[in-house]
Amino acid sequence: MDTRNGLVTFGLMILLFVFAFVFCLDALGTPNATYGVLAIIGFIACIGASLYNGMLSAREGEGLALWYRAYSVLAAIAFVWFLTRCGTAFGWW
């Protein structure tokens, strides 16, 4: 993957993260399970795609691999935050 395609993919993944984060905020604000499920799917897709693209970039020796890994950490932090907020809202703990 060359750098231009990597940047386009990275930009699309940022857009996916924004949509997933907006869905998670809306799911926490209103009792809408559909948005919660969409947020979970979006976060899992963000984490999986960034780890996969990070591994491909690292194998080819690109500097963009570090950005993909940082993005996956950021998406994982937001995902765990969303899950803990859902657990608190449902009274699981």
pLDDT score at 40: 94
Count of the separate structural domains present in the chain? 1
Using DSSP's 3-state secondary structure scheme, residue 53 falls into helix
pLDDT score at 6: 77
Q: Which domain holds residue 50?
A: 3-90
pLDDT score at 43: 96
Spatial distance between the Cα atoms of 20 and 6, rounded to a whole number of angstroms: 21
Q: For residue 24, which of 69, 91, 70, 77 has the smallest C-alpha distance?
A: 77
Which parts of the chain register pLDDT below 50? none
pLDDT score at 1: 56
For 40-56, write each residue's pLDDT tens digit: 999 999 999 999 999 98
